[in-house]
Amino acid sequence: MKFGRELAAEMVQEWQEAYMDYKHLKKLLKDIFTFRHHNNNNHAPSFSTRKSFRKRKIMHRVFSGLTGRPGSSPRKSSNDHEVILVGPVEKEGSVIYYQTMFLRSFEEGSEFELVFFKKLDEEFNKVLRFYETKVEQVREEAKELNKQMDTLVALRIKVVDDDNIFVEDQFDQEIGVSNINNSSPFSSFNSKNQGRVSMDVIEEVEMSNEQKKPQMNKNGTKSFREFLNETNEGGFSLDVIQEVEISNEEGKSTFKQSPKKDLDHVKINVEPDTPVSTLRTVIMSSSKPSLSFSKDELRKAEEKLKRAFVEFHHKLRLLKSYCLMNTLAFTKIMKKYDKTTSRNASTSYLAMVDQSFLGSSDEVNSLIKRLEASFIKHFTNGNRRKGMKFLRPIDKKEKHLTSFSTGLFAGCSIALIGGISVSLHARELLDHEGRGQYMDNIFPLYSFFAYIFLHMVMYGANTYFWRRFRVNYPFIFGFKQGTELGFREILLLASGISVLTFSAVLSTLDMDMDPETQSFRTIAELVPLILVAVVLVITFCPLNIIYRSSRFFLIRSAWRCICAPLYKVAFVDFFLADQLTSQIQAIRSLQFYICYYGWGDFKRRSNKCLENETYQHFYIIVAIIPFWLRFLQCIRRLVEERNAMQGLNGLKYFSTVIALVMRTMFELRRQTFWRVMAASTSGITTIYNTYWDIVMDWGLFQKKSKNKFLRNKLLIQYKSVYYVAIVVNILLRLVWMQLVLDFNELPFLHRRAMVTVVACLEILRRGIWNFFRLENEHFNNVGNYRAFNPVALPFYYEDEKTM
């Protein structure tokens, strides 16, 4: 693999603008080569190849003495400093930039090399500034984690001490040896030495209920803990002990307060995990609650800090990779320069790279080692394998069985479709007198699975193209590393659902039309209900089968959507809510399941659901719910982020709710006034939604863009794809509008089938929207260099001076 492709594959996509522009520098080298090759061909036509010309030129210079000074060895070619001089230059106050001086500017064609070195310096300074900025950020984050870990250790001691659990041989660690200022994984930062870290591994306070025998110190005296136990039978609390004399390494005596003293000004920052706790937090107080020193509080704090450690470790590894890949890129490009120009300038330039902060700083490696040691000790009880499994999850490997199973299920689905078609034509079911009854009662039951199948296929196609165009969708959605589903797994699930659905349809037709199975009429009518039950059982199954982590991630996200606005809105939450707005007919199908099997006469295949006024009202209410939830999410973000665009976005969903209400009034009254109101509100909503899709969600139609009617940065090379997507989105929005206005009857197509077709077109539109929506989000992350999800730390410090 060429290095350019390797660099593109290994780079952090959200930092791609901060990497060395290897492709552009190669282009400049190509310009140098083209000029030199053309110039050499004009002056030396006898040399047919570049290699032979270079050898002859070098030999001529060596033996003629043109390359050396008087008295120099004839074997020695031009020295590095005779080609370039590179060193630091102070600009903009104390900021140091590196600049290269090309010493062969008098030669013909040197302007190409001057341009190359100017661009090379720009790229190096860009990389260096970015790396220094990120190192400074991780240095500050390490200090914050230092403080958080100190508090967690003190909280552990306090919680265990309140339960009267003591360990005799670890009292020194509780009071002095586990010095709070030196117990964390990131302590003693020295900014004068480029922020190098000297970290002391935290000595974990291991508590147990087992009583141990008193042990003597080295000098034959009993420990202070043993003295307390003998005199007060362990009745003294650590709160009584205000100061304990500790001998430091220099032999001086110092005093250290009890760790629990540091908890006086600490607030708990654990976010409410239930709607009830959220409401209680809002009603009672907006400030952070104080520590209650409970085990449940300690557990939540440990989980949150554990996630912060994992995320910080991931950030350090990516920063390390950034440093290595850019250093290697500068090495490669300078070697190519030497090869192209027959010079030897790489040695001096790469020596400068090694001496710079990019090549000499070992702070990131030091942080990684100490973080791993601390995490293993404090969160996995010294189990290194388990700890590294958390910190460095293994990348998911593609399995051939997944591809094979997907192909197998797809083939079975095609065969079942063929069997259904043969059954319909052989028995002339399309012209059967019970066709209308079947379409009104059974078809809506199975159409539910068609919506789910099509949506999963579109999502699988999206994941394929996101991965192909290097969109970091696992990071955007917040998937745990290694648990995200690829397009193969998604298509496997979709094909499995299709096999179940077509098998159920074929079995229903056979049992319904075959005279030998007429006695199983009731079972035949229950097949769709059994199929729904199977899908729900698999979805909520607690066993570790069929991608449990992904299933539970979907369930949690759906619950957060349902409970809006009681949860903080993440990207995956409002993205899922947007998907639900395109699955209105699927939700209505579930409503029909309840009515058909609960109040209808399913044995005789008849129902009066649509004639029931209550059912009609709920028919529109369930359609409003997804838009209303999305509206509440926008209100929550408007309050938290103070962003007026969220208010306008919420207004878009509220206008859709009004349009649906107007349609309901028209269906109930059938008056001209309500028809006009339904048409006008639906028209305004369609225009509003279309504009928002293209301009806000996709980021297209930007002013002063180099791509007409598009944006400056595009993932897809062919611009026509974006223009086609815009037109298709507008057309499919108009189709959705005619569904809202109930103009959905065609003479050659049953009303139920027409509703299903329009719903499928809306799902297709949503699938197209998903790709460009995530593309726009990806470029927003790239523009802000946002490659990590923020993790809320468990503790909040009310008084920094006290701490």
pLDDT tens digits for range 185-194:
554 444 333 3
**Residue 399 CB coordination number (10 Å):** 11
Tell me the per-residue pLDDT of 299-330, one tens digit each, with 9 for 90 and over: 888 888 999 999 999 999 999 999 999 999 99
* 269 falls within a domain: no
Give the per-residue pLDDT at 206: 37
Backbone φ and ψ for 392, nearest 5 degrees, come out as -125, 75
DSSP state of 98: E
Is-contact 297 152, C-beta < 8 A?
no
* 378 falls within a domain: no
Over its C-alpha atoms, the chain yields an Rg (Å, rounded) of 35
**DSSP H helical ranges for 264-399:** 275-284, 295-341, 346-355, 357-360, 363-379, 384-391
**Nearest-angstrom CA–CA distance, 313 and 12:** 15
Domain that holds residue 667: 400-427+444-781
DSSP state of 19: S
Tell me the per-residue pLDDT of 629-675, one tens digit each, with 9 for 90 and over: 999 999 999 998 888 999 999 999 999 999 888 877 776 667 778 77
Q: With bands split at pLDDT 50, 70 and 90, how would you rate the model's confidence at 748?
A: low
Long-range Cβ contacts of 4-9 (<8 Å, 24+ apart) = 7/325, 7/329, 8/470
Give the CB-side neighbour count of residue 324, counting CA atoms within 13 A.
Answer: 13
Residue 222 three-state SS: strand
* 350 falls within a domain: no
Q: With bands split at pLDDT 50, 70 and 90, how would you rate the model's confidence at 755?
A: confident
**Is 50 exceeded by the pLDDT of residue 626?**
yes
Is-contact 10 321, C-beta < 8 A?
yes
Q: What is the token pair recorded at 575?
A: 């993205």
Give the per-residue pLDDT at 487: 94
Helix, strand, coil % (nearest 5) of the chain?
Answer: 65, 5, 30
Give the number of domains in the chain.
1
Q: Which of 539, 590, 149, 177 is nearest to 373 (CA)?
A: 149
**Is 60 exceeded by the pLDDT of residue 499?**
yes
* 185 falls within a domain: no
**Is 70 exceeded by the pLDDT of residue 110?**
yes
* 508 falls within a domain: yes
Give the per-residue pLDDT at 724: 95
* 746 falls within a domain: yes
Q: With bands split at pLDDT 50, 70 and 90, how would you rate the model's confidence at 99?
A: confident
* 474 falls within a domain: yes
Give the per-residue pLDDT at 736: 66
Give the per-residue pLDDT at 708: 87
Between 199-203, 309-313, 588-592, 618-622, the lowest mean confidence (pLDDT) is in: 199-203
- Is the sign of the CA dihedral 265, 271, 274, 277 positive or negative? positive
Residue 146 three-state SS: helix
Tell me the per-residue pLDDT of 662-717, one tens digit each, with 9 for 90 and over: 877 776 667 778 778 888 888 889 899 999 999 999 999 888 888 988 999 999 98
Highest mean pLDDT, choosing among 51-65, 152-166, 590-604: 590-604
**Nearest-angstrom CA–CA distance, 626 and 660:** 12
**Is 80 exceeded by the pLDDT of residue 414?**
yes
User: How far, in Å, are 115, 170, 461 from residue 17 at the CA level?
Assistant: 20, 51, 27
* 712 Cβ neighbours under 8 A, 6+ residues apart: 702, 705, 706
Torsion angle, CA of 320/322/323/326, rounded to 10 degrees? 160
* 260 falls within a domain: no
**Model pTM?**
0.80
Q: What is the token pair recorded at 759?
A: 């719903």
Q: What is the token pair recorded at 256?
A: 């250290």
Q: Which one has a higher pLDDT value, 88 or 455?
A: 455
How many residues appear in the chain?
Answer: 803
**Nearest-angstrom CA–CA distance, 448 and 755:** 12
